[in-house]
Amino acid sequence: MNGFPWLTVLWALPAAGAFGVFAVPRGRPAVAKAVALAVAVATFAVAVVVAVGFDTGGARYQFVEQHEWIRSLGVGYHLGLDGIGLALVLLTAVLVPLLLLAGWHDPGAGGRRAHTYVALVLATTAMVMISFTALDVFLFYVVFEAMLVPLYFLIGGYGQDAREAGARSRAAVRFLLYNLLGGLIMLAAVIGLYVATAGDDSPFASGTFDLPAIARAVSSGDLAISAPVANALFLGFMFAFAVKAPLWPLHTWLPDAAVYTTPTVAVLMMAVVDKVGTFAMLRFAVELFPDAARTFAPWIVGLSVVAVVYGAMLAIGQRDVMRLIAYTSISHFGFIILGIFALTSQGQSGSTLYMVNHGLSTAALFLIAGFLVTRRGTRAIAAYGGIQRVAPVLAGTFLVAGMATLSLPGLAPFISEFLVLIGTYTRYGAAAVVATAALVLSAVYILWLYQRVMGGRTDDGNRHVRDLRPREIIAVAPLLVLLLVLGLYPKPILDVIDPAVESTLTSVHSSDPPPTVRGGVPTVAEGPGDGPAGGEGGHP
C-alpha cells in the first residue's frame, strides 16, 4: 500500500500511547483512561486498514518492512504479515479497547495508579503486535521476553482483593520465573540457530536471523542442519513456547496468575499474550525445524491430549469460579497445540481459528464472571445461586459465553474444534478419539457452573446483585456478536488463514495423509508419516 509502514504504525501507536498517558495530569485518571481507549481504537482502525489491504491470493508475507539493525550480527528490523498473523493481529486489536472499557473501574486501577495501569496494557499490546509481525528471529526473541515486564507488573500490582496482595505477588513471580526460564533456553537455541546459519556449508555469507530466508534454505535443502542439532534447537524453541502457551505440564503458573489479578489483565494474558506461544510454534518451531517437528510430533500430540482432558477434569472440581475458567483455557490450549502438530491442513487451520475463537469466548466468559465477582465480592461458587432472577442480562450473556466455551454448534469455537479433531484424526486417530471426550467434560463443567451460579433459589446475599451496566454491555456485546457470526459464517477468516497454512505445510514438505483401504473400508493414515510431498506415505 504505497510503501507506507503500516506494521510499524500498528505497534508504534500503542507504544506512543503508553508514554503519552503520563502527559495527562495525575489528578485526571478518567482522562488517562480515555486517552488509552482512544489509542486502542486508533490501533484497531489501523488493523482494519491492513486487513482490507491484505490480498489473500498474493504473496505470503505482505506489508513487508526490512531495515538493517545490527549488521555485524545479521539482525534486522524485519516485519511482515501473513494470514495467520493477520488473524491474531485483528484479535488483539478487537480485544484491547474492549478490555480497557470493561476494566474502567478495575480494583486498584483508579486514582494515581490509573496512568500506570493503562500504560502497561498499551505497552503489552505494542509488544504483542511486533511478535505477530516479526520476521527476524532475534527481533522476535527480544519482544517475546520484553513483554514479560509489563505483564509482571500488571499481575502483581492489580487485583480484585487487596487482602490477596501476597498471593498475587507470588503468582506474578511464578509467572516471571517460568517464562524467564523458557526464554533463557530459547536464547541458547537462538544462538545455536545463528551458528548453524554461519557454518561452512551454509548458503549465507555470515550468520543470519532472517526467518523467511532460513526457512527457504531449510526447505530447499541448501541449509542442512544435522538431525541432533536440529532436534536440540527445536526443543529449545518449543520449551519456551510451551511455557508461554501453556502446555501441560508447564502450565502451573497460569491458574494463580489468572485468578489473583483483575479479569481484564487475566484476559489480556490468556486471550492475547499466551497466543504468542502457539503462534510461534507454527511460525518458528515448525518452519525452521520441519524434520524435528515431525520427529517430536507424536510426543507433543500426546502431551496435548493430556492437557485437553486434564484441564477439563480439574475445571469440574473447582470451587472458585475464576479458577474454573482458567483451567478450561489449559484444555483449550491443548486443542490448539494438538491441531498444530497433527501437521495437516485441517488441523493447522482449525488451530489458528481456535486461537481467535478461544480469545473471544474466554474474554467474554472471564469478563462477565469478573463483573459478577466484583458485585458479590467473592469467587466462591457456593456463595452464588439464583442470579438469573435478579440479573437476567448478566445471566444470559454468561450462558451464551459458556455455550461458546463448550463449543456448542452455531457458535465460533465449534468449527475450530471440529477442524482440529478432523485434522488430527487423519493422522492420529486414537488421540482424536480421546480428545473428543473433553467435549463431554466441557459440557459438564459449564452447565454445572451455570446451574450452581445462576439457577436455583436466590439467597439473601445475592438479592441485591445488579444487572450489567451499559458500559459493561458495550464491552461484551461485540464479543458475543463475533462468536455468533464466526460460528455461522467462518469463511472470511478461513479464507485468510488457509493460504498461510498451505504455505507452511508446503515449506516443511508435509501434506495431508492420503486415504487408504483396509478390508474394503476407506480409512486414513496414522502416525507422523507425511503424504507424497513429505516423501513418506501413510501406513498401508
Cα-based distances in Å from 38 to 17, 100, 101, 428, 472:
9, 10, 11, 47, 17
Q: What percent of the chain has pLDDT over 70?
A: 91
pLDDT in tens, 19-43: 888 888 887 888 888 899 999 999 9
Inter-residue contact 320 to 256 (CB < 8 Å): no
**Residue 288, Cα to own-chain centre: how many angstroms?**
20
> Around Cβ 99, how many Cβ atoms within 10 Å?
26
pLDDT of 529 above 50: no
Instruction: Kindly provide the b/e burial profile for residues 87-97, where b requires at least 16 CB atoms within 10 angstroms of the residue's own CB.
Output: bbbbbbbbbbb
pLDDT in tens, 427-484: 888 888 888 877 788 888 888 888 888 887 887 778 888 888 899 899 999 999 999 9
- The pLDDT score that the predictor gives to residue 481 is 94
Answering whether pTM is above 0.75, one says yes
The DSSP annotation for 122-175 comes to HHHHHHHHHHHHB-BHHHHHHHHHHTHHHHHHHHHH--S-GGGHHHHHHHHHHH
Mean pLDDT of 501-528: 64
pLDDT in tens, 169-219: 888 888 899 999 999 999 999 999 888 888 767 677 777 888 888 888 887
Nearest by Cα to 87 from 360, 380, 288, 330: 360
Residue 273: DSSP 8-state: I
pLDDT band at 507 (very low <50, low <70, confident <90, very high): confident
Q: Which residues pair with 380 in a beta bridge?
A: 320
Higher pLDDT, 376 or 149: 149
Cell of 134: 516479526
Higher pLDDT, 221 or 184: 184
Alpha carbon dihedral 513, 494, 60, 246, in 10-degree steps, equals -80
| Helical residues (DSSP H) of 21-134, grouped into ranges | 29-53, 83-102, 113-133
H/E run at residue 77: strand 75-81
- The pLDDT score that the predictor gives to residue 2 is 61
Mean pLDDT of 529-534: 41
The DSSP annotation for 477-521 comes to HHHHHHHHHHHH--HHHHHHHHHHHHHHHHHTT--PPPEEEETTE
- The pLDDT score that the predictor gives to residue 112 is 66
Nearest by Cα to 154 from 102, 109, 92, 93: 109
Mean pLDDT of 288-294: 89
Distance, CA of 86 to CA of 311 (rounded, Å): 29
Q: Which residues pair with 75 in a beta bridge?
A: 70
- The pLDDT score that the predictor gives to residue 537 is 36
- The pLDDT score that the predictor gives to residue 531 is 41
pLDDT of 295 above 70: yes
The mean predicted confidence, pLDDT, of the chain is 85
Q: What percent of the chain has pLDDT over 90?
A: 33
Inter-residue contact 155 to 265 (CB < 8 Å): yes
In this structure, is the dihedral angle defined by the CA atoms of residues 151, 312, 352 and 290, taken in order, positive or negative?
Answer: positive
At a CB cut-off of 8 Å and minimum separation 6, what does 451 contact? none
Cell of 108: 486498584
- The pLDDT score that the predictor gives to residue 528 is 46
Mean pLDDT of 97-125: 83
The number of CA neighbours under 13 Å toward the Cβ of 469 is 11
- The pLDDT score that the predictor gives to residue 127 is 94
Mean pLDDT of 4-24: 90
Least trusted range by pLDDT, from 200-209, 399-408, 453-462, 529-538: 529-538
